[in-house]
Amino acid sequence: ETGVTQTPRHLVMGMTNKKSLKCEQHLGHNAMYWYKQSAKKPLELMFVYNFKEQTENNSVPSRFSPECPNSSHLFLHLHTLQPEDSALYLCASSQVAADTQYFGPGTRLTVL
């Protein structure tokens, strides 16, 4: 595997389900990010982790819970989502925070 990988690539879930998104970077980077991209809207930064420590929570609802066990892995735990949470969720990494970011392919999430 190279670059930034994300699984699953597509996810359909009901509002009462619990699911997790996984991101792994193979670039030796120290910062990782979660973004949300809804149709016709700009990228919205959700969370930033720098050396495994969360350094940014961009007023994200608590139904989204991030986890960063090490510098290579990032998770986004989802529970009791709403239909308006349907979007493309993108993971990115960079050598250091605010440096050049490389994106994974994204997870297309649909909440029914």
How is residue 53 written in tokens?
Answer: 């420590």
- List contacts with other proteins (CB under 8 A): 31, 33, 41-43, 45, 48, 50, 55-56, 88, 90, 97-106
Using CA atoms of 56, 69, 29, 93 in order, give the dihedral in degrees to the nearest 10.
-50
Please say which residue, 33 or 64, places its beta carbon nearer to other proteins: 33
**Which residue in this structure is represented by tokens 């979660």?**
34
> Using an 8 Å Cβ cutoff, are 30 and 96 in contact?
yes
Measured between alpha carbons, how far is 6 from 22 in angstroms, rounded to an integer? 6
CB 35, min distance to other proteins, A: 8
Please say which residue, 14 or 75, places its beta carbon nearer to other proteins: 75
CB 63, min distance to other proteins, A: 22
CB 8, min distance to other proteins, A: 15
Cβ neighbours around 38 below 10 Å, total: 13
Please say which residue, 13 or 43, places its beta carbon nearer to other proteins: 43
